[in-house]
Structures are given as structure tokens and as C-alpha cells.
Amino acid sequence: MPSRLHEWVVTVDHKRLGILYIATALIFFAVAGVLAALMRLQLAYPNATFLPPDVFNRLFTMHGTTMVFLVGMPFFAGLANYLTPLMIGARDMAFPRLNAFGFWIFLFGGILLYLSYVTGEGLAGHGTAPDVGWFAYAPLTERAFSRGTSTDYWILSIILTGIGTTASAINVIATIVSMRCKGMTLARMPLFVWLMLVVSSMVLFALPPLTAGQVMLLLDRYLGAHFFDTQAGGSAVLWQHFFWVFGHPEVYILMLPGFACASEIIPVFSRKPMFGRPAMIGATIGIGMLSSGVWAHHMFSVGMTASSNIYFAVASMAVGIPTGIKIFNWLGTMYGGKIRFDTPMLFCIGFLFQFLIAGLTGVMLAVAPFDWQVTDSYFVVAHFHYVLLGGLLFTLFGALYYWFPKATGKMLSETLGKWHFWLLVIGFHLTFDTLHFAGILGMPRRIYTYAPGRGWETLNLIASIGVIFQAAGVACLVWNIIRSLRKGKPAGNDPWDAWTLEWATSSPPSDYNFAVLPEVRSSRPLWDLKHPEDPDWRYE
């Protein structure tokens, strides 16, 4: 056993690092989920006294920070690591050791964040976690208002995970550009790989503003600099700009890996090639570019000039165009297809519905005057949970069911998978549909309790009951994974009758992936192989 542990610690194999990333993401997901459940418990009734306000502040800070930086980002890195080399017919990533470095520095960053619960200094004395919110607006984070070290744990852990993510992104780009097997032209590359290329490029541009902002904040806190110190002429709004110049592309950095998974799963389970493949690639690049110019729609209520408001409103709505193209691509793929409703596909269908609604509330929020009304309310909370839970998490769960057989050689149970899906759907809608209304009725986000008589009680109670269903759904997944690892049905190499190269390897793939490096002639190399009488390359 120690030697097996040792193998995992020293590994530079992209598949093992991919599994490590995803396992870590799932553990942090469970932790952040528990934090969320505690908050919903506190908010189930008005005037509840289950949690004191300072503890509540720490809970939402840690929940948000964990979900974005320690769940969403490693899921991207894990999927990209595991699948990219297999899909492009390579034996490993371009820089295996950089890959291991990226993972361990990310994990260290995550551990550092949670160490604050033991060693951080803050309002509650020893053992105070960060409590400044996941976007940590200045001047709250300045030394005068956030004494002690808890905020520094937040700063440093995010800088560290950012270094890890940047290392991953560089590695993914170099792998995709330089390691493709013979014949794997850009035009033939699987959509998953295309989207990962776009995400990684976005990481290169989007993470530095965050890192720079964090460094400036540290300089302010420890060397007495004045970047965000309003008393010395500094600007607290500058922090908001730097944070959201990172923060909005970040939403798409989180979301595009979900699109990437859906773009592999939906065609396979519709038994049709992707509809409008070039449009899909173009729309992805369009999203990548547009998303870097819309950041200040998070800041309408700060009070910008009218022309800025107009620009950021219009630009934000414009993102809806390429996103809409994608939705049509997926629907067009399903249209007329022989759809198989296995668990991965169920999750993708749930994603399509929920992400559409998330997009629509997004367009609503892009209208500056509407945003002034509901900014920092539960409407916004419901909107971005629709994006990240209803959209991203559903596709990631779909991906888990789809690629788990490849990574482990065992099938996950379909019955448990369907329980997982339906419980999560019910729980998700109970919680987040109702919170939209609580927001419109004026319930602000981040309050630790509320007085009765404002029409929020029933909505909040329903939202909290939804958490029970969501937790039950996730419990089904955990049990499903444990059960399958022990006595799951053997998966075989290609359980879904799919078309990309990873299914041409054994399950799990051998250390070197491919005994002979493959050569491809179309975007569905495995189809060509299985149907020599009617290969795709004939039509290219």
C-alpha cells in the first residue's frame, strides 16, 4: 500500500494527474456543499439563531472561493489532463513534470485556504477563516478593516492556485499545438479539445489581473502601499475593475469545459455527428473574445458614466449570440437523432434547459436599470447558481458518467445514475427557482437572517428543503462510485459506441496510451475504423 501511495505522489502521468485533480475537486465540492447546506439551514426560518453572523460571513466566503477556485478550476484541469492527450493521439502532455507541479501547487493552495480555520487570525481570534466574500471588495480587505491574517490566507491561496492553473493552461496549449498525432489537423480535432484550447488561452489573459490585484493588495496590507486605499487617493473601484476583468472571463473559463463535455456527449447519444461544427468552434472563440470586454456589468451599481453603462449592457447581451448559436448546435444535433437516454445524456439535456434559463436571466441582468433593482439580491445568486450548478455541474456529472468507464474500466450503475439525476433536478429547481422570486421581492444576498413578514419565509423554506434532495442526489453519486469501483460491470473499451480516439484505447488506458501512435483522416477516427464501408474521410 505505501508503494501504491508513493506511485500516486510522484506520478507525472497525465491520466493519474487528471484523476487526482478530479478527485480533489470532488472532495472540495463535498466540503463546499456542506458549507452551503449550513447556510440554507440558517436561512430556512426567519430570525434563526443556528449560526452567528460572523460564522455566516466565513461560510459564504469559503463556499464561493472553494467552488470557483478549488472545484471548477481543477475540474477543468482534470478533464483537460485526462482527455486531451488521449483524444489527440498523444502519449502524455507536452510537459509532464510541469503538470505534476501544477497539481501539487494547486492542492497546496487549497489546503492553505482551509488551514485558516485552524491557524488564521481574525475577528474571532485564533482559527478565523476569511470572511470578506469571494470577490473581497476593497477597502474591506485593507488592513484597517480586516485585521489579522485570515484575509492573507485567502490572497495567498488564490495566488498559488492561480500559478497551478496557469501552468496547466500553458501545458494544455503546448500539448494541443505540438503533440497531435499524424493527420489530426485543427479542422479534425474533437470539439472537446478545441474548447479546451480556447479555455486555456483565456486563462493566460484572465488570471494575471487577479494575480496582480492580489499582489497589490498584499503590498497595501504589508508594506503600506495605497493601491486601494481611498484615504491616500487610491481607488477602491480599481479593485473591482481588476477583479472583474478576471472574474467575468472566469465565468466562461468555468463554463466552457462544461460545453466541451456536452459537445462530446450529445452527438454520441444522439447517434449523429455534431451539427454545425465550424459554427460551434467559431462561437466558442467569439465567446472567449467577447467575455473579456464585459466585466463592468458586475459593477453597474457602482455608478459609472451613462456611456459605460450602455457599452457594457450591449456587450454583455452580445455574448448571448454565440451562446445561442451553441444551444442551436446542440439542439440541431439532437434533432432527428436516435437519442439514447443514458445518464450522461440526461444530464446534458438537463443542462440545455437550465442553461437556457440561466442565459435569459443573464440578459435581464445585463440591462443596467434592471440590474440596479436586483443587484446583490438573491436574483443574482439564483442566476449564477443556474449557470454554475444548473449548467456547469450538470455537464460535469454527465462527463463523470461518460468517462468513468474509460478511467476505471467499470460502468457506473444506470439505476443509481437516474436517481442521482432526478433527485438533483428536483432539488436544484426547488432551491434556485424560488430564490429568483426572493430576490425580486428584495431579499439581499449575504444576510445571515431576516425578519418575518416580507414574503420571503415560504420561498426560503422551499429553497432549504431543495438542499435535502440535492444532497440525496450527490449521495447516490458517491454510493455509485464506491459500488462501481468494487463490483461494477466491466466497461470494455468502448461502452458507448463513440467516435473519438480515447475509446480506441483499453479501459483504463495503458501507461503509454497507444502502442502505436494512431493516424487519423477525419474528425471521427473511430467511426472510420468501425465503418470501413462508409468512412467520414470520404466526405472531407
Partner 1 sequence: MTPSIAANATGALQETGALKQPEWTLPDRGRVAVFCLFTTEFALFSIFVVAYIFYIGKSLSGPMPSQVLELPIWATICLLSSSITVAIAERALKSNQIQRFKVWTGVTILLGLEFLRNTAVEWSHLIRDFHLTISTNLFGTTFYSLVGLHASHVAIGLMLLLLAFVLGLRGSMRGQARRFELLAWYWHFVDAVWVAVFTVVYVIGR
Binding stretches for partner 1 (CB under 8 A)? 94-95, 166, 169-171, 173-175, 177-180, 182-183, 201, 203-205, 207-209, 211-213, 215-216, 219, 223-227, 232-235, 238, 242, 245, 492-494, 497, 503-506, 514-521, 525-526, 528-530, 532, 535, 537
Phi, psi angle pair for 409, to nearest 5°: 80, 5
Minimum distance from CB of 74 to partner 1 (Å)? 19
- The radius of gyration of the chain's CA atoms, rounded to the nearest angstrom, is 23
CA 233 from chain centre, in angstroms, equals 37
Cis preceding linkage at 139, omega within 30: yes
Minimum distance from CB of 202 to partner 1 (Å)? 11
Whole-angstrom Cα distance, residue 215 to residue 219? 6
Minimum distance from CB of 43 to partner 1 (Å)? 37
Q: Of 290 and 365, which has the nearer Cβ to partner 1? A: 290
Q: Of 245 and 281, which has the nearer Cβ to partner 1? A: 245
Helix, strand, coil percentages in the chain from 3-state DSSP, rounded to 5: 70, 0, 25
Query: Hey, which residues does 490 pair with through a beta bridge?
Result: 410
Minimum distance from CB of 515 to partner 1 (Å)? 6
Q: Please give the grid coordinates belonging to residue 95.
A: 510537459
- HSE (side-chain half, CA atoms, 13 Å) at 192: 29
Q: Of 166 and 449, which has the nearer Cβ to partner 1? A: 166
Whole-angstrom Cα distance, residue 22 to residue 31? 14
Minimum distance from CB of 299 to partner 1 (Å)? 15
Q: Of 163 and 477, which has the nearer Cβ to partner 1? A: 163
Q: Of 341 and 512, which has the nearer Cβ to partner 1? A: 512
CA 74 from chain centre, in angstroms, equals 8
Q: Of 139 and 525, which has the nearer Cβ to partner 1? A: 525
| Strand ranges inside 194-328, DSSP E | none
Q: Of 235 and 408, which has the nearer Cβ to partner 1? A: 235
H helices present in 88-181, as ranges: 96-119, 150-178
- HSE (side-chain half, CA atoms, 13 Å) at 48: 18
Minimum distance from CB of 493 to partner 1 (Å)? 4
Q: Of 303 and 490, which has the nearer Cβ to partner 1? A: 490
Minimum distance from CB of 534 to partner 1 (Å)? 13
Residues 6+ apart with CB under 8 A from 435: 378, 379, 381, 382, 385, 459, 463
CA 109 from chain centre, in angstroms, equals 17
Minimum distance from CB of 258 to partner 1 (Å)? 23
